[in-house]
Amino acid sequence: MEFNAATLAGFLKGEIVGDPEVTVNTIAKIEEGHPGALSFLANPKYEQYIYTTKSSIVLVNSDFVPGAEIEATLIKVKNAYESFASLLQLVDQARPGKKGIHPTAVIETSAVIGKDVYIGAFVYVGENCVVEDDCSLYPNVYIGDNTRLGKKCTLNPGVVIYRDCILGNNCTVHAGSVIGSDGFGFAPQSETEFMKIPQLGNVILEDNVEIGANVTIDRATMGSTIIRRGVKLDNLIQVGHNVEIGENTVMAAQTGIAGSTRVGRNCMFGGQVGLSGHIKVADGTKIGAQSGIPGDIKKENSILLGYPAIDHRDFMRSSIIFKRLPELYRKVEDLEKQIRLLKEE
């Protein structure tokens, strides 16, 4: 698809600086720009590239003031990153979607399949399942008995949804993820043996949830593991049984959440964050990468770092001391030596 600057500016409600008729038909990083490409500048540390980029059009924030001449046509918008994301969505939605049911798919007779669905090769849809309109199930997807998919759900290759789970509308699950596997429930019988505790609950994903690749969300022991609407989970995340994640919370890769923990709304977790079980995390909490949370976070909109995680300002001050510990240790040894000598005298 090809667009000129005037069309893009109209769609984004932006201001053109340069040639309104210049056209683009692809996208590129600003540092890798070439004629016919659209790029964006949102992070000031990339500003150097806007003066050398070969991209035909660059989206910039409305307050951007160039420090030198720029060859590209600029479109000034309120938020360049958000505007670029909107254009990517426009291009993605323009791609022709797949429809139809592949002859190798196995769909049990009691399953209900909606209109305009795509069910790829070697997909299995179990008994009493419901797959609503406009869903896409890519090859090798498994849907267990009594599972329900809302409208416009996309399950990418190799996704496994165990029995009794419920997905809302417009959910996306990426390749290799497992929804509804057993929670880690074992009762000690002796010092060396454990008894399996049956996991009889399910998993519920509300509307507009996106799950990355190779994520595991365990079913509840009883009741439901619940991922509220708008949640976005990165790749390689583990969500334990009976966890609840609040609306519009986002988590980066390799985060792990132990069972029965409650995470509030609008939280943001960096990569490799670990949460203990049976704790509560307040709304709006932000946790830095590789932090550990052993107990409740009661204050809303907290920003935490470290293990155990503490207020980010305290952590930054402490990190300065951490670097000086070897030096401080040597000073303490010297002082102790001097004290011993004084005592001997």
Each residue's pLDDT tens digit, 128-176: 999 999 999 999 999 999 999 999 999 999 999 999 999 999 999 999 9
Does 119 reside within a domain? no
Contact (CB, 8 A) for 179 and 203:
yes
CATH number of the domain that 77 lies in?
3.40.1390.10
Does 147 reside within a domain? no
Does one domain contain both 343 and 220?
no
Total number of domains in the chain: 3
Domain boundary among 59, 94, 129: 94
Range of the domain at 25: 3-94
Q: Which tens digit of pLDDT belongs to each residue from 21-63?
A: 999 999 999 999 999 999 999 999 999 999 999 999 999 999 9
Summarize the chain as % helix, strand, coil (round to 5): 20, 30, 50
Q: Which tens digit of pLDDT belongs to each residue from 213-229?
A: 999 999 999 999 999 99
Contact (CB, 8 A) for 111 and 132:
no
Asked whether the predicted pLDDT for residue 116 surpasses 80, the reply is yes
pLDDT score recorded for residue 309? 84
Contact (CB, 8 A) for 263 and 257:
yes
Pairwise CA distance, residues 285 & 312, whole Å: 12
Does one domain contain both 257 and 324?
no
Does one domain contain both 235 and 262?
yes
Does one domain contain both 297 and 329?
no
CATH number of the domain that 213 lies in?
2.160.10.10
Domain boundary among 40, 61, 94: 94
pLDDT score recorded for residue 96? 79
* Cβ neighbours of 58 (radius 10 Å): 27
Does 106 reside within a domain? no
Three-class SS state of 111: coil
**Mean pLDDT confidence for 230-257:** 98
Does one domain contain both 79 and 163?
no
pLDDT score recorded for residue 88? 87
Does one domain contain both 269 and 212?
yes
Does 186 reside within a domain? yes
pTM for the full model? 0.85
Handedness of CA 248, 300, 261, 313 (dihedral sign): positive
Give catalytic residue positions. Answer: 241
Does one domain contain both 181 and 298?
yes
Does 39 reside within a domain? yes
Pairwise CA distance, residues 298 & 286, whole Å: 13
Does 298 reside within a domain? yes
Does one domain contain both 51 and 74?
yes
pLDDT score recorded for residue 290? 94
Does one domain contain both 186 and 303?
yes
Average pLDDT across the chain, whole number: 94
